[in-house]
Every structure is written in structure tokens, then in C-alpha cells.
């Protein structure tokens, strides 16, 4: 059997995840000599031994990699034989560019948990136990390379025992940067609302558990920031939390001790259980079970709970009993980013929390819990954050480095490098100054960790957004991107499709080049450009944002659009001063035009006796969807489609992608739909039936428009994007209807369909624009 020496390079997430010890063990088992070392590109191996063993080694490298590793590429070649005496681990070379990936934060692993619950173990009940397979990463790294002095563990010197583990290639904690124990690592303490320390270590924990059980609001420092926790079975405590946090009705997340407890409160499908127990540990939206035993105040009027399982060791201790389910909501006031520092938490949450369970391991970057839900047979993202960020999303092609700075709400930022897209954690509402600070920090952090200096910054078309203004202040070329075009490009990029495609983009608000508010759009195009093929009719939104908060205003305006000044008499109008709204609409006072699909849902909900004012985003639409009872019927409300006057002019344009017309080919008649709803309400039709027919009407009309687009353009691919597609009934109805019509349908898989995907779309469009320069 011949002996050879192979040089093998491995790229992907292969540092800080136990990859070198893994390589070491594989090599020993196959009697190889040589070495393994971290390099700027990943891991370099030189292995020498029998060819059959080397071949086997290569297969094992890919197939048996540690749980947190992600092997992207393995390249090997034969080189001259060497004279090593054994197989060794070489130390990192810190020089040169580093493109090795930083892993997301990972829930505590089974092996660590076993030690954690074992009284004989030196880390018994130690809340900061971790190893190379688990623990915090993204939220504690300050810069690269990923070594302890570059993390928030910098201040904790390892004791002799920990150091020995850290240095031992055969140990699970070999080079585990946050490695620590009760003797040398971070500790818990309990602070009163005014910041005074009252207990430490295990005593702090016991006191926090006691206070939770007594109904107090406990602020708990976790992995990506603070949570506000209360006993989920205590209605009074939950109400008090809502009132203090200024969060009237928006559903709150619940953490339960384990899967058996989760099954008691939710009807779980296999995929939902898988998501709950995955190493990312997101919040999973799942159907409430009758007799769940938790406070109704957690998610009033909502047929799902957002539930999650413990992911930090500390959470297991909190939920040992007597409280087995706690509300765990982000530690912030409404719309602000999550708190990460102890002093900051006491300052910002002092008026909300009764006490603070804190620790002295710093959090470098705030990271909210991720939220996912089962839709069309797959677990899909609603908020992609802790556990997922900054794991890259693979792209079909490589290209220039570009930054997309995202949307105004549900902001994320995204950096492209080669064939990978690095999307940040959820940042939130950029109108908020704290969020704007995290926005800037995240751009800096992602750029530094992955060594990306963008050649172009793509931002929203809206000139007044803070993100647009920030982009223009940088010494880099910028590109303004229309919001719904970004949705289309993001959906294509995620699905590795070049397009062109028919983009059915339904959401709340996006600034159009005609300075109206878009949001019910059928676009034709790809990353290089688009045409507005069709859209919902634009109608006035009386009071702008005020109408978003009060769907009844939109209903009055849309009825005016459908009937003129002579409104039909509908029951909902009795409660309101409709005359004022009519006056605004007729005089077009502070009433911007919108083609928003979200507003259409609002109007129909309010008209049919649903929610008149909302307490959180999409509340009226969610309640309308729930009324339908989970399925569409045969009957649908008719919705007309008509050609716009400038159709001839537009179709004579030479190339689709050369300019951005503000008009469109086909208008979808919101007015015909509103008339149908009004007639149904007057005839006394049940609200559930109205909801089914309305959803069905939208599915039917958008399918028809897609067919018209296919007929003209010979494009058979449809991309669905926009926050309205979080509506499961509409999404699944649309997919099956388009499928029956023979379309290939693309939907988001790794990013949310809402504005969390905008930064990727912007970046991809920016990259395409650079090609033409
Ligand atoms: Zn572990
Ligand atoms: Zn130690």
C-alpha cells in the first residue's frame, strides 16, 4: 500500500467549533502523521499515511464534522513526503486576512447539560457552562481572530483546570474561547429595582425564582440581552408587565421548561417540535391548546402562542420549579432595542422590573430571540436573529462586496462577500435612536468580522430614512432601491434564481418612485431592474400613519373611493366621526395615495365589524384571517382588473428594465372588492364567510394577473414576498392556485418574507448595478 502526503484545505465555519481536535482525532485513528492549523481561509491540514486511510480521512472530514461546523469546501492535492514524528495541532497564525466564519450563538449542548445536572461535576448548576459545541459566539465576539482576548470573556483568567481542558486537543473544551467554571468564570447576582445588589451566585438565582413565583417582574440577562420574565400562569403578573412595558395586546413569548410542557399548551406538529429543540432555539408560533392553563393576557385574541425552550443554562435553573412556564419578552420599552448592559438595564428598565438577575459576562451586540412558524410545510422565519445571525446565506454567484442597509421597520443590514450574504440580527425600528445606534454598530461589526469593505451601499428610495441618510454620508457609491423591487430580488437570490420573474409583492408600506405609497404590487423583473406590471388601485390614506393605527379611517376612505360621497350605511360607521374623514379625503388633506395590501386588509376588517383601531402591527388583518377558520371556500368576492390609459405608451417602451414607470399596465380594482364586501355586510353574511371570500378574491385576482404577465412576457416563475404573506391562509392559497395554473412558485426559506429580507434584496441589486459600471 503506497504512502502519500496530502495537503488539504477546508473552508466554512471551521474555527471555534472544535474542528481541529476533530481533525486530530480522525488523523490518530487512521495513523496519519502531519499537522492541522487554522489559517485565514479556514483550516489547513497536511496528512501523511496510506492512500486508503487518506481517502477515508477525507470522507470523514466532510461527513462527521462537529455539530457547529459548516464545511463549505475541501480541496486536496498530493505533495512531497515529510518527516513528522506524529500528528500535531499547530497554533493559529494571526497575520493575514481572516475569512473564517464566526458561528451564531448556540443553545447549551446535551453533553454540557449532563454535566450541569450532575452533582459530582465541577460545573454542577454553573450557569455559564459551555464547550466548543455550544455557548455564546456572535454576541460576545468583539473582533477577529476569534480568540479569548477578543471576546467579552477577556477579563476572566482561566483556572488551572480550565486551562488544562483548553490546551488538551482530546478535550471537548479544547480552544473553547468562553471556557470557564465556578472558580474562574462569570457569576450571577440579583439587583433590586434601584440597582442595589442583594444576593450572589446560587442565592441570587434562588431569590429570583422565589420572586418569579410570587408574581414579580424579573429582568433576566441572557445571551443576546435582557428579558422581562413573569410567571406565565399568573394573569395579574402578566397584566402588570403589559401595563408597565406599554404593550397593550401584542402577543408575548413564553418559555417552558421542556417539550412535555410545550405539548401541554400547544398542539405541535413534528416540524414545530424539531424547531423548538433545534440548536438555534427560536420562538415557534404554534396553535394554542384548549385548557392550556396559562394566562389569557399572554396572547389575547390570538389563536397561537409564541413558545420557546430554554437555551442558556441559566434558563434551565429558572424553570426548575415551581414556575414551569414564564413569559420572556425582550427587555425594552416598546420599539426600543433589547438592553444588554447591567447599568443600562437598571436605567432603562428600572420602572418596569422589580429586580434584575444579572451576570458579569458582557454582551457585545444585542440579539433578540428569533421567531419562526410553520407555513406551507416548512418552518419559515418571521424574525431571523439569535441563533441564525450571522450565519451566511449562500448565493448562486460571486461578485463585488456590497452593503444593503435595509428597511425602516424590522431593519436588518446585509453584507455580500463572494457567494455569501451576511445578514445581521433583527435591529428593529430605525426611527428609534437606540436602534439607529445598533444599526451602525452592526454594520461595523459584520464588516470587521468578515473583513468586508463594501464598494457600494444600497439603501431605500425614501430620501428621509435615517438609513438612506447614513448611506449618503459614507465615502462609498450609493444606490437607491425601491422597496418592493428589493423584496423581489431577495426572494430570487435566496432561491438561487436569476429571473426574470413575476413578483407578487404584498405588504404595508414602501416608497414608490411616483412618491405614493406602494404595497400591492406585481412587478416583472430581476436584480437588474423591474417594471410595475400591475398594482392595487391607489386610494387616499386619511391622516397617513394615523390611518394605519385606525383601520376604520381607511375603511371610510375606501368606501368613498367605491361609492363617492353617498356612502352605504354600514354598522361600523355608527361609532365614528365619518364626516371628518370624508372631508379629508375629498379635499385630499394629509391623505397620501396608497396601493398597500396591508391597508386593504385593514379596511375590510373594519368594514366587516372587526378591529376599528389596532394596538400592534397587522392586528386587524390577523384577526380577519383567524375568522376564516383555516381554509378558503368555493365562493370568492369578484375583483375587477382593467388596463390603465397609458397602456399603449408603456408597451411601446423599448426595454423593460431601462426605466421605472410610475404607472402600470393593469390596475386591480380595490373599489370592486370593497363594493362586494359592503354588499355582503349589508346582507348579513357571517364574518368568517366574508373573510374566506375576501382572501379567495385576492388569490383569484393575483393569479389572473400573473397569467396575464405570463401571456405577455413568457415568464413562468412567480416570486412571493412582502409581510402580508405571513398570513398563512393567503400564502398557502396563493401557492396552490399558482401551482394549479402551472407556475413555478418561489418563496422565502431562510429570511422572513417581511421587511427583514429587504437588506439582502438591496445588496443583490447593488451588486448587479456595479457590474454595469
Ligand atoms: Zn457544550
Ligand atoms: Zn475554571
Query: What mean pLDDT is predicted for residues 326-346?
Result: 88
Contact between 32 and 51 under an 8 Å Cβ cutoff? The reply is no
Distance between CA atoms of 141 and 105, rounded to whole angstroms?
Answer: 10
Query: How far is 757 from 632, CA to CA, in rounded Å?
Result: 28
pLDDT higher than 70, residue 327: yes
Categorize the per-residue pLDDT at 144 as very low, low, confident or very high, splitting at 50, 70 and 90. Answer: confident
Quick check: 148 pLDDT over 60? yes
Longest dimension (CA), the chain: 94
At residue 518 the predicted structure's pLDDT band, cuts being 50, 70 and 90, is very high
Nearest to residue 540, comparing CAs of 563, 556, 524?
556
Predicted local distance difference test score (pLDDT) of residue 660: 38
Task: State mean pLDDT over 695-702.
Answer: 98
Burial code of 191-221, b = ≥16 C-beta within 10 A, e = fewer? bebeeeeebeeeebbebbbebbeebbbbbbb
Distance CA 566, CA 156 (A): 74
Name every residue whose Cβ is closer than 8 Å to that of residue 448 and which is 6 or more positions away in sequence. Answer: 143, 144
The candidate with the shortest Cα–Cα distance to 182, out of 109, 107, 124, is 124
Q: How far apart are the C-alpha atoms of 331 and 346, rounded to whole Å? A: 11
Rounded to 5 degrees, what are φ and ψ at 523?
Answer: -105, 145
Averaged over 710-720, what is the pLDDT?
Answer: 95
122/180 Cα distance (integer angstroms): 11
CB-based contact 423:393 (threshold 8 Å): yes
Which one has a higher pLDDT value, 83 or 117?
117
CA of 63 to the centre of ligand 1 (A): 20
Ligand closest to CA 313: 1
The predicted structure's pLDDT at residue 92: 60
417's CB contacts (< 8 A; 6+ apart) are: 99, 401, 450, 451, 452
List, for residues 287-315, the tens digit of each pLDDT value. 999 999 999 999 999 999 999 999 999 99
pLDDT for res 95: 45
Ligand whose nearest atom lies closest to the CA of 107: 1
Helix 551-563 vs helix 578-587: crossing angle, to nearest 10: 60
Starting from the CA of residue 67, give the closest ligand: 1
Does residue 653 sit in helix, strand or coil? coil
pLDDT tens digits, residue range 653-685?
333 333 334 466 799 999 999 999 999 999 999
Strands (DSSP E) along 163-242, which ranges?
A: 188-192, 197-200, 218-221, 226-231
Q: What Cα–Cα distance (Å) separates residue 605 from each residue in 226, 535, 601, 638?
A: 36, 21, 6, 17
Please give the full DSSP string across 516-533, using - where no structure is assigned. SEEEEEEEEEETTEEEEE
Q: Which ligand is nearest to the CA of 115?
A: 1
- Separation of CA 157 and ligand 2 centre (Å): 8
Q: Residues 568, 607: contact at Cβ < 8 Å?
A: no
Residue 315 CA to ligand 2 center (angstroms) comes to 21
On average, the pLDDT of the chain sits at 93
Ligand nearest to the Cα of 279, by number: 1
Centroid of ligand 1 to alpha carbon of 113 (angstroms): 7
Give 163 Cα–ligand 2 centroid separation in angstroms.
7
What are the CA-CA distances from residue 427 to residues 295, 445, 654, 757 (Å)? 29, 13, 41, 12
Helix (H) or strand (E) holding 254: strand 253-256
Cα 171 to averaged position of ligand 2 atoms, centre (Å): 14
Q: Output the pLDDT for position 96.
A: 42
Q: What is the pLDDT of residue 646?
A: 45
Binning pLDDT at 50, 70 and 90, where does residue 648 land?
very low
Question: Alpha-carbon distance 166 to 276, whole Å?
Answer: 31
pLDDT at residue 502 above 50? Answer: yes
The residues near 679 (Cβ < 8 Å, ≥ 6 apart) are none
Q: Tell me if 488 sits within 8 A of 504, measured CB to CB.
A: no
Residue 644: the pLDDT is 75
For residue 183, the ligand closest to its alpha carbon is 2
What does the pLDDT average to over 254-271?
97
The CA 207 to ligand 2 mean position distance, Å, reads 25
CB-side neighbour CA atoms (13 Å) of 96: 9
pLDDT reading at 198 higher than 90: yes
Label residue 93 by pLDDT band (50, 70, 90): low
Chain centroid to CA 711: 35
Q: Mean pLDDT over residues 497-505, rounded?
A: 97
Cα(153) to centroid(ligand 2), Å? 12
> What pLDDT, on the 0 to 100 scale, is given for residue 650?
36
| Spacing, Cα 92 to ligand 1 middle (Å) | 23
Dump pLDDT digits (tens) for 343-371. 999 999 989 999 999 999 999 999 999 99
pLDDT at 389 (0 to 100): 96
* Of 713, 714, 706, residue with least CA distance to 745: 706
- 726 vs 631, which has greater pLDDT? 726
Please compute the mean of the pLDDT values over residues 3-16 and round it to a whole number.
89
* Model confidence at 649: pLDDT above 60: no
Say how many Å lie between the CA of residue 181 and the centre of ligand 2. 4
Segment among 316-330, 449-463, 638-652, 743-757 with least mean pLDDT: 638-652
Tell me the pLDDT band of 645, cut-offs 50, 70 and 90.
low
CA of 179 to the centre of ligand 2 (A): 8
Alpha helices in 50-193 (DSSP H): 51-63, 110-116, 160-167
Can you give the pLDDT at residue 651? 37
The mean pLDDT value for 411-431 works out to: 96
Q: Comparing C-alpha atoms, which of 306, 325, 345 is closest to residue 237?
A: 325
pLDDT of res. 85: 85
What integer pLDDT is reported at residue 15 of this predicted model?
A: 76
Query: In the structure, what pLDDT confidence band is assigned to residue 170 with cuts at 50, 70 and 90?
Result: confident
* Helix H or strand E segment including 364: none
Distance in Å, CA 361 to ligand 2 centroid: 14
* C-alpha of residue 102 to centroid of ligand 1, in Å: 17
Instruction: Quote the pLDDT of residue 97.
Output: 42
Contacts of 391 (CB under 8 A, 6+ apart): 13, 70, 101, 103, 104
Long-range contacts of 111-116 (CB under 8 A, 24+ apart): 111/172, 112/313, 113/313, 113/316, 116/313, 116/316
Q: Average pLDDT in the 419-445 region? A: 95
Ligand located closest to 135 CA: 1
pLDDT tens per residue, range 469-486: 999 999 999 999 999 999
| Confidence (pTM) | 0.90
Q: Looking at the CA of 106, which ligand is closest?
A: 1
Amino acid at each position: 500500500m503506497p504512502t502519500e502526503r496530502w495537503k488539504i484545505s477546508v473552508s466554512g465555519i471551521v474555527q471555534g467549533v472544535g474542528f481541529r481536535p476533530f481533525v486530530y482525532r480522525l488523523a490518530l485513528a487512521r495513523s496519519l502523521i502531519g499537522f492541522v492549523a487554522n489559517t485565514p481561509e479556514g483550516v489547513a491540514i497536511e496528512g501523511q499515511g496510506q492512500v486508503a486511510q487518506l481517502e477515508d480521512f477525507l470522507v470523514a472530514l466532510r461527513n462527521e464534522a462537529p455539530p457547529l461546523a459548516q464545511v463549505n469546501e475541501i480541496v486536496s492535492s498530493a505533495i512531497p513526503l515529510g518527516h513528522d514524528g506524529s500528528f500535531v495541532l499547530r497554533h493559529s497564525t494571526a497575520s493575514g486576512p481572516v475569512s473564517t466564519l464566526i458561528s451564531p450563538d448556540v443553545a447549551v449542548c446535551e453533553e454540557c447539560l449532563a454535566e450541569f445536572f450532575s452533582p459530582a461535576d465541577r460545573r454542577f448548576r454553573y450557569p455559564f457552562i459551555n464547550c466548543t459545541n455550544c455557548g455564546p459566539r456572535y454576541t460576545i465576539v468583539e473582533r477577529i481572530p476569534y480568540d479569548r482576548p477578543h471576546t467579552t470573556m477577556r477579563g476572566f483568567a482561566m483556572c488551572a483546570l480550565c486551562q488544562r481542558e483548553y490546551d488538551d486537543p482530546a478535550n471537548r473544551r479544547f480552544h473553547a474561547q468562553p471556557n470557564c467554571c465556578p472558580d474562574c468564570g462569570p457569576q450571577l447576582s440579583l439587583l433590586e429595582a434601584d440597582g442595589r445588589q442583594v444576593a450572589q451566585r446560587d442565592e441570587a438565582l434562588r431569590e429570583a425564582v422565589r420572586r418569579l413565583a410570587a408574581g414579580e417582574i424579573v429582568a433576566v440577562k441572557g445571551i443576546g440581552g435582557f428579558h422581562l420574565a413573569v410567571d406565565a400562569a399568573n394573569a395579574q403578573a402578566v397584566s402588570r408587565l403589559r401595563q408597565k412595558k406599554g404593550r397593550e395586546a401584542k402577543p408575548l413569548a413564553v418559555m417552558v421548561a421542556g417539550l412535555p410542557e410545550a405539548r401541554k399548551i400547544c398542539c405541535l406538529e413534528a416540524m414545530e417540535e424539531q424547531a423548538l429543540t433545534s440548536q438555534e432555539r427560536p420562538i415557534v408560533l404554534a396553535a394554542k391548546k384548549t385548557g392550556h392553563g396559562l394566562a389569557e393576557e399572554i396572547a389575547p385574541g390570538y389563536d397561537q402562542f409564541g413558545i420557546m425552550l430554554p437555551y442558556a443554562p441559566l434558563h434551565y435553573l429558572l424553570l426548575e420549579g415551581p414556575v414551569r412556564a414564564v413569559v420572556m419578552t425582550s427587555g425594552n420599552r416598546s420599539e426600543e432595542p433589547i438592553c444588554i448592559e447591567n447599568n443600562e438595564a437598571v436605567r432603562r428598565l428600572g420602572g418596569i422590573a422589580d429586580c434584575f438577575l444579572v451576570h458579569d459576562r458582557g454582551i457585545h451586540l444585542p440579539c433578540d430571540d428569533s421567531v419562526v412558524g410553520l407555513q406551507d410545510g416548512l418552518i419559515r422565519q418571521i424574525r431571523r436573529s439569535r441563533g441564525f445571525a450571522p450565519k451566511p446565506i449562500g448565493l448562486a454567484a460571486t461578485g463585488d462586496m456590497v452593503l444593503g442597509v435595509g428597511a425602516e421597520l424590522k431593519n436588518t443590514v446585509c453584507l455580500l462577500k463572494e457567494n455569501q450574504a451576511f445578514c445581521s440580527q433583527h435591529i428593529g425600528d430605525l426611527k428609534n435612536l437606540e436602534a439607529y445606534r445598533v444599526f451602525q454598530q452592526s454594520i461595523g461589526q459584520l464588516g470587521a468580522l468578515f473583513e468586508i469593505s463594501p464598494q457600494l451601499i444600497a439603501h431605500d428610495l425614501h430620501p428621509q430614512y435615517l438609513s438612506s441618510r447614513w448611506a449618503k454620508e459614507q465615502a462609498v457609491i450609493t444606490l437607491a432601491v425601491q422597496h418592493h423591487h428589493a423584496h423581489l430580488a431577495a426572494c430570487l437570490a435566496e432561491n438561487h434564481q436569476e429571473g426574470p420573474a413575476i413578483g407578487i409583492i404584498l405588504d404595508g408600506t414602501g416608497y414608490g418612485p411616483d412618491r405614493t405609497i406602494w404595497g400591492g404590487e406585481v412587478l416583472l423583473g430581476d436584480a437588474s431592474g423591474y417594471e410595475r406590471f400591475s398594482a392595487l388601485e391607489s386610494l387616499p390614506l386619511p391622516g397617513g400613519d394615523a390611518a394605519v393605527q385606525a383601520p376604520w379611517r381607511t375603511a371610510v376612505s375606501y368606501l368613498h373611493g367605491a361609492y363617492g360621497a353617498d356612502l352605504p350605511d354600514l354598522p361600523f360607521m355608527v361609532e365614528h366621526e365619518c364626516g371628518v374623514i370624508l372631508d379629508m379625503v375629498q379635499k385630499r388633506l394629509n391623505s397620501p395615495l396608497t396601493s398597500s395590501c396591508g391597508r386593504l386588509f385593514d379596511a375590510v376588517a373594519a368594514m366587516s365589524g372587526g378591529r376599528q383601531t389596532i394596538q400592534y402591527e397587522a392586528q386587524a388583518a390577523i384577526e380577519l384571517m383567524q375568522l376564516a377558520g383555516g381554509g378558503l371556500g368555493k365562493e370568492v368576492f369578484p375583483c375587477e382588473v382593467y388596463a390603465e390609459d397609458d397602456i399603449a405608451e408603456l408597451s411601446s417602451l423599448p426595454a423593460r428594465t431601462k426605466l421605472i414607470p410610475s404607472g402600470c399596465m393593469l390596475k386591480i380594482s380595490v373599489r370592486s372588492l370593497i363594493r362586494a364586501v359592503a354588499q355582503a355586510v349589508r346582507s348579513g353574511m357571517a364574518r368568517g364567510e366574508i373573510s374566506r371570500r375576501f382572501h379567495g378574491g385576492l388569490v383569484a385576482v393575483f393569479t389572473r394577473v400573473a397569467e396575464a404577465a405570463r401571456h405577455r412576457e413568457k415568464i413562468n416563475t412567480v416570486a412571493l414576498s412582502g409581510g402580508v404573506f405571513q398570513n398563512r391562509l393567503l400564502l398557502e392559497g396563493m401557492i396552490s392556485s399558482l401551482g394549479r395554473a402551472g407556475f413555478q412558485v418561489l418563496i422565502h426559506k431562510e429570511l422572513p418574507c417581511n421587511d427583514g429580507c429587504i437588506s439582502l434584496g438591496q445588496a443583490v441589486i447593488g451588486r448587479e448595478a456595479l457590474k454595469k459600471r
